[in-house]
Structure 1
Amino acid sequence: MERLMQSIRIEINDKIYLKDPESSDLGRRIIQQSILMIDEMGFESFTFRKLGERIKSNESSIYRYFENKHKLLVYLTSWYWGWLEYKTVFATSGIADTAEKLQKTIEILTQTIQQDVSFSHINEVLLNKIVINEYSKSYLTKEVDQENKEGYFVIYKRLVNRLSEMIIEVDAKFPFPSSLASTILEGALHQYFLKEHFPKLTDCNETTTPTHYFTDLVFRALNPNNYG
């Protein structure tokens, strides 16, 4: 199983990058160090010039992989959602009970992230922090509709759809499966942000986690007695 996990590759839409960063040592260093730097200084302060200085490479070499830092952020967030998808698939493949399967999926999608040794050049803990703080910047742009048409967000949408289908399997009469699924993914990020920066605006703390909150929310919503 360990060898199988190490052979996993997260497939990213090739329109997001100019050259696949997984195809070379330089590309993997670009990904590795960009995660560290965006976590350190924030996306606004991060530049390819600073990244080039960090990895001791010409700035122009980074532009051979990504057209701009927006595309890099889309790549990083797409990788993150793809990684969560693969974890979900592996963790639930042997679960027959639909409610148990949904509960396990909610746990994976909302829990505190741990380092995954299967991908040595990517720090998933720091990438999770970046997604919490910066993910909205990948789609709150004037180009979002065109980028959506080109499939930039296909992994995220696929994960929402996968979760929506699990909700339907538990309660086929529930009228808002996609809305609930996207609320879980977006809401988990928001609850972690509130917990870190605005703790008085959330009930999540050191003992009550976003996983507790969303598990309770979902299974209350899926109770047929709630809506006739």
Structure 2
Amino acid sequence: MKNLLSVLKISVSDKVFIKDPETSNLGKRIVEHSILLINEIGFEGFTFKKLGNKIGSNESSIYRYFESKHKLLLYLSSWYWAWLEYQLVIETFSITDANEKLEKAITVATRTVKEDSNFSHINEIILYKIIVNENSKSFLTKEVDLENKEGYFEVYKRVITRISDMILEVNKEYSFALSLASSIIEGGLHQHYLREHFPSITNCKEGKSPTNFFIHLVKSTIK
């Protein structure tokens, strides 16, 4: 299994990039340092010019990979959801008990992320911070319907569908499986955000994690 993971390639829709950054050292540096820079200064303050200065490359060279910083954010978001999907598959495929499988899926989807050594140019811990803080900016746009139609969010939706299917394995009569699954995904991010920035309005602190909350919520809801 370890050898298999070492050659795993996370697939991102080719619609979000002009040239696949995984195909060159410069592309990988663009991805690596965009994560670090967005985390440092925020997406609003992030520009290709600043990124170019950071990596010692012309701004124009970055535009050969991504048409805009919005498309770069879509790439980072898509990469994260594809990576999360492979975590879900790996950590649940051998579990036969439906309740145990769902609990593991909730844990994977809502836990604090640890770095994955299989992808040396991407710091998953910092990328997760970006997803918590900036992910909604990838789809809260006027172009969201068109981008959705063109398949930009397929992996994100697939993750939600996987969890929805696990909910139905536990209770096939439950009528809101997709709504609950999407609430787990988005709510997990939101609770991590609140814990970091608005701790006075969340109970997810002092030994109570978002994972604890969502396992309790789901068990109480679909029992």
- TM-score interval (norm. to shorter): over 0.9
Tell me the CA shift for residue 200 of structure 1. Answer: 1.0
The aligned residue for residue 32 of structure 1 is 32
Q: Which runs of 5+ in 2 are unaligned?
A: none
Residue type of the partner of 2:54? Answer: R
Aligned equivalents of 2:203, 2:100: Cα separation in 1: 25
2:70 is paired with a residue whose SS is: helix
Q: Secondary structure at the match of 2:109?
A: helix
Shift of residue 206 of structure 1? 3.1
1:154 is matched with which residue? 154
User: Secondary structure, in 3 states, of the residue corresponding to 2:67?
Assistant: coil
* Letter in structure 1 aligned against 2:189: L
- Amino acid of the structure 2 residue aligned with 1:158: R
Report what 1:165 is aligned to.
165
Q: Match of 2:63?
A: 63
TM-score by length of 2: 0.99
Aligned to 1:8: 8
Gaps of 5+ in 1: 224-228
In structure 2, C-alpha distance between the alignment counterparts of 1:161 and 1:109, rounded to whole Å: 13
SS in 2 for 1:204: coil
* Residue 42 (structure 2) aligns with: 42
TM-score by length of 1: 0.97
**1: distance between equivalents of 2:2 and 2:183?**
33
Partner Cα separation in structure 1 for residue 174 and residue 196 of structure 2: 33
**Superposition RMSD in Å:** 0.6
Structure 2 distance, partners of 1:153, 1:206, is 34
CA 1:206 to 1:121, structure 2 compared with 1: closer, same or farther past 3 Å?
Answer: farther
SS at match of 1:29: helix
The residue identity in structure 1 corresponding to 2:104 is K
Residue number in structure 2 paired with 1:226: none
2:57 aligned partner, one-letter code: S
Q: CA deviation at 1:81?
A: 0.6
Q: Distance in 2 between matches of 1:51 and 1:61?
A: 11
What does 1:1-228 correspond to in 2, within 5 Å? 1-223=1-223
User: CA separation in 2, counterparts of 1:18 and 1:162?
Assistant: 29
Q: Identity, % of aligned pairs?
A: 57
- Distance change >3 Å, CA 206–CA 116, structure 1 → 2: farther
Distance in 1 between residues matched to 2:122 and 2:51, nearest whole Å: 16
CA apart distance, 1:137: 0.4
Partners of 2:144 and 2:88 lie apart in 1 by 27
Give, in whole Å, the separation in 2 of the partners of 1:8 and 1:180.
30
* Structure 1 residue 6 displacement after superposition: 1.1
For residues 78 and 35 of structure 2, the distance between their equivalents in structure 1, rounded to whole angstroms, comes to 13
| CA deviation map 1:131-178 (0-9, x unaligned) | 000000000000000000010100000000011000001000111000
Q: Hey, which bits of structure 1, 4+ residues long, moved more than 6 A?
A: none
Structure 1 residue identity aligned to 2:101: K
Deviation per residue, 1:15-44 (Å, 9 max, x gap): 110000000000000000000000000000
Question: For 2:55 and 2:6, how far apart are their aligned partners in 1?
Answer: 25
Deviations 1:22-76 (A, max 9, x none): 0000000000000000000000000000001111111000000000000000000
Between the aligned partners of 1:84 and 1:114, the Cα distance in structure 2 is 12
> Hey, what's the Cα distance between the residues in 2 that align with 1:111 and 1:48?
31
Q: Distance in 1 between matches of 2:37 and 2:78?
A: 18
How many angstroms apart in 2 are the aligned matches of 1:46 and 1:62?
Answer: 13
